[in-house]
């Protein structure tokens, strides 16, 4: 399936089918796997009854576990995976930089600072207060605005000035966050550390409804921009002569990617690697067109994160691993394999 | 009718004047080539015509429409560019690359229409690129690549095409091949070409009109025979050049060791 040649329609169709199968598998695993194991047949029956087809065979206890505990976690995982993957792919296109990830413009450091502030000064290190997502979202949004203000120069932003500004703002906000942490108690540091590693453990329907509107709108905007990102692959100046309003497209894509990322990060913390690894795997399978990469990132990114979360909560049960650890453990070898395949394909 | 009208154009970079008070009118269906030494302002001049340079003074109109009043999309329907060093994205096939030329027509959110695809296929056929259309653009030779970039420009269906050193990196055969192809587009389809070329002999043989630029100013302007003059070119290029007539064509030969 791997080839240096642009992909055939058949290959794209096969990869799309595999992504759909992976997504269905992830949904079934996300609802069925856990301390109370529920059979695949019952999960499929419950999903079908949710769609108005047939009757669920779940017991009342199983129904509570599935719909009140696992389903919000599953949906939040799907939304987060899709958003981070699409944002990563969109950033890679808009900055023409394969190393770009959704945290490039300071979202992670801003969210980290907001969350640290909430835990240290609002929760006084004793709890992770309910304000944490709100302050993390505010921190992430302010960080991106500062980056754009520093490197953007209004609509005259170029990829390199924005990336450099992102590095500067991230460094500044990370140093502030470290300062706040250093001023706080050991309990605070532990709580901040857990938040920074990311987790879907606190997912609830209210956190799903908080994130969902942002994520849906931002994913739609990024996926719709796929064609424009393909045009931008020839560089800003050539793209302009082809009729693309490059600066406006960059502003819209960066705004949508950053806002969507800020929303999901505020709810689940910092989950690394998804935004880089998913678009890169898809690029290897279906070629470089963002018209193909971004829609498939929605499917594969959602499946990848839910499967990673299923591993995170079951592999050392009853202890739960931070999902960021699992995505990195899965992501790093996958990244190495991509590099090896790339090298083989280009030689 | 003039396809391109450049009036009193000045382009600056910081305090330096790259193009100084240039006025040129290019008739539709003709080929104008700008020549001159490195740093004369050729690229700045032609990039201004496609709207890539900020104009310090003066104006440019394409097909009667002032460039300054047009957005990127409107501009791309009037004038196309074949850049000196085009970016060639890995993993894109030739057909998709040529189809980028239709961006201004189908917009950002819609896929190319059947009409767009038909135009792309017709351009691929006209430039004998059908056999390459499924290939990765990064695997093409220099000649094939330049032909593909020209195909993208032709797919824009503009009256005017601007080419900045289109023969850079090509061997003699492929240089002639590309320029003959452009000449056919001018003769058969009424295309207007504004180009820059370093090869003075080829410039003189293919263009209807040459403009000699030096330090951003027009020094000579007219048919090849009026512009290819030994004294002016030797002074401009700061070296001794000879102009030899071979079968009616002016051939410019540099002579070693007599530089000023």
Q: What pLDDT, in 10s, does the model give residues B5-57? A: 999 999 998 888 899 999 999 999 999 999 999 989 999 999 999 999 999 99
Alpha carbons B36 and B53: distance in angstroms, whole number: 19
Q: How confident is the model at residue A127 (pLDDT cuts 50, 70, 90)?
A: low
Determine the pLDDT at residue B103. 93
Instruction: Supply the DSSP string of B23-86, one letter for each residue.
Output: EEEEETT-EEEEE-STTSSHHHHHHHHTT-S--SEEEEEETTEEGGG--HHHHHTTEEEE-SS-
Rounded to an integer, the average pLDDT of A312-327 is 83
Q: Is A235 on the interface with B (CB under 8 A)?
A: yes
Chain B residues with CB inside 8 Å of A244's CB? 72, 103, 108
Q: How confident is the model at residue A166 (pLDDT cuts 50, 70, 90)?
A: confident
Long-range contacts of A153-157 (CB under 8 A, 24+ apart): A155/A247, A155/A248, A155/A251, A156/A247, A157/A247, A157/A250, A157/A251
Determine the pLDDT at residue B260. 47
Residue of A nearest to B87 (CA): A234
Instruction: Say whether A6 and B93 touch across the interface (CB within 8 A).
Output: yes
Q: Is A9 on the interface with B (CB under 8 A)?
A: no
Instruction: Say whether B92 and A6 touch across the interface (CB within 8 A).
Output: yes
Instruction: Say whether B108 and A225 touch across the interface (CB within 8 A).
Output: yes
C-alpha dist (Å) from residue A291 to A224, A239, A281, B180:
8, 16, 15, 36
Instruction: Say whether B101 and A242 touch across the interface (CB within 8 A).
Output: yes
Q: Is A243 on the interface with B (CB under 8 A)?
A: yes
Q: Is the pLDDT of residue A238 over 80?
A: yes
- Taking the mean position of all CA atoms in its chain, how far away is CA A304? 10
Alpha carbons B141 and B125: distance in angstroms, whole number: 18
Chain A residues with CB inside 8 Å of B83's CB? 237-238, 241
Q: Nearest-CA distance from B139 to chain A in Å?
A: 9
ipTM of the complex: 0.90
Tens digit of each residue's pLDDT (9 = 90 or more) over A84-105: 999 999 999 988 887 788 887 8
Q: Which domains does chain A have, with CATH numbers?
A: 9-346 (1.10.3470.10)
Most confident of A122-131, A158-167, A253-262: A253-262
Instruction: Say whether A242 and B135 touch across the interface (CB within 8 A).
Output: no
- CATH superfamily for B2-228 is P-loop containing nucleotide triphosphate hydrolases (3.40.50.300)
Q: Is the pLDDT of residue A195 over 70?
A: yes
Q: Is the pLDDT of residue A178 over 60?
A: yes
Q: Could you state, in order of their start, the residue ranges of all structural domains in chain B? A: 2-228
Which positions of chain B have pLDDT values less than 70? Answer: 257-260
Q: Percentage of residues in chain A with pLDDT exceeding 90?
A: 28
Q: Report the predicted TM-score, pTM, of the whole model to 2 decimal places.
A: 0.86
Q: Nearest-CA distance from A92 to chain B in Å?
A: 13
Chain B residues with CB inside 8 Å of A251's CB? none
Q: Of A4, A225, A238, which is closest to B83 when you measure between CB atoms?
A: A238
Q: Is the pLDDT of residue A44 over 90?
A: no
Tens digit of each residue's pLDDT (9 = 90 or more) over A135-149: 888 888 898 888 888
């Amino acid at each position: 399936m791997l080839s240096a040649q642009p992909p055939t329609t058949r290959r794209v169709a096969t990869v799309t089918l595999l992504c759909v199968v992976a997504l269905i598998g992830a949904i079934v695993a996300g609802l069925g796997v856990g301390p109370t194991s529920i059979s695949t047949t019952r999960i499929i029956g419950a999903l079908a009854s949710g769609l108005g087809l047939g009757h669920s065979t779940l017991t009342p206890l199983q129904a509570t576990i599935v719909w009140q505990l696992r389903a919000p976690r599953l949906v939040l995982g799907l939304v987060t995976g899709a958003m981070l993957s699409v944002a990563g792919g969109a950033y890679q296109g808009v900055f023409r930089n394969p190393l770009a990830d959704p945290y490039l413009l300071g979202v992670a450091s801003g969210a980290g600072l907001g969350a640290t502030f909430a835990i240290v000064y609002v929760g006084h290190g004793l709890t992770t207060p309910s304000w944490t997502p709100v302050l993390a979202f505010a921190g992430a949004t302010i960080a991106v605005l500062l980056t754009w203000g520093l490197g953007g120069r209004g609509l005259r932003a170029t990829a390199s000035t924005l990336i450099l500004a992102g590095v500067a703002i991230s460094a500044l906000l990370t140093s502030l966050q470290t300062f706040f942490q250093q001023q706080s108690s050991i309990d605070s540091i532990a709580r901040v550390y857990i938040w920074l590693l990311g987790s879907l453990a606190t997912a609830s329907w209210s956190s799903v409804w908080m994130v969902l509107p942002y994520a849906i709108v931002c994913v739609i905007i990024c996926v719709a921009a796929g064609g424009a990102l393909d045009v931008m692959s020839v560089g800003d100046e050539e793209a302009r002569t082809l009729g693309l309003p490059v600066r406006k497209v960059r502003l819209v894509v960066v705004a949508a990617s950053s806002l969507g990322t800020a929303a999901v990060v505020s709810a689940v913390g910092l989950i690394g690697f998804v935004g880089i690894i998913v678009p890169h795997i898809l690029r290897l399978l279906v070629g470089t067109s963002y018209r193909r990469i971004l829609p498939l990132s929605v499917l594969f990114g959602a499946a990848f994160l839910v499967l990673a979360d299923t591993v995170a909560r079951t592999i050392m049960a009853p202890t739960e691993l931070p999902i960021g650890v699992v995505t990195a453990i899965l992501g790093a070898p996958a990244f190495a394999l991509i590099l090896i395949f790339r090298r083989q394909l280009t030689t | 009718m003039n396809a391109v009208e450049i009036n009193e154009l000045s382009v600056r970079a910081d305090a330096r004047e790259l193009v100084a008070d240039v006025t040129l009118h290019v008739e539709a269906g003709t080929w104008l080539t700008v020549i001159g030494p490195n740093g004369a302002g050729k690229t700045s001049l032609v990039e201004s015509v496609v709207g890539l340079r900020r104009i310090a003074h003066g104006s440019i109109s394409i097909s009667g429409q002032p460039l300054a009043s047009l957005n990127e999309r409107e501009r791309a329907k009037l004038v196309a560019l074949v850049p000196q060093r085009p970016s060639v994205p890995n993993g894109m096939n030739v057909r998709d690359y040529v189809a980028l030329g239709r961006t201004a027509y189908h917009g950002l959110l819609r896929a190319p229409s059947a009409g767009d695809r038909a135009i792309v296929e017709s351009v691929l056929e006209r430039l004998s690129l059908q056999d390459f259309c499924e290939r990765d653009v990064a695997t093409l030779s220099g000649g094939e690549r330049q032909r593909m970039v020209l195909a993208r420009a032709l797919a824009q269906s503009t009256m005017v095409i601007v080419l900045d050193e289109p023969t850079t990196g090509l061997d003699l055969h492929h240089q002639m091949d590309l320029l003959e192809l452009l000449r056919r587009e001018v003769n058969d389809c009424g295309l207007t070409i504004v180009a820059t070329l370093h090869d003075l002999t080829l410039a003189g043989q293919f263009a209807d009109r040459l403009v000699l630029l030096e330090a951003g100013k027009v020094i000579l302007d007219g048919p090849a025979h009026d512009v290819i003059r030994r004294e002016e070119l030797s002074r401009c290029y700061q070296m001794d050049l000879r102009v030899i007539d071979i079968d009616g064509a002016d051939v410019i030969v540099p002579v070693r060791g007599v530089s000023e």
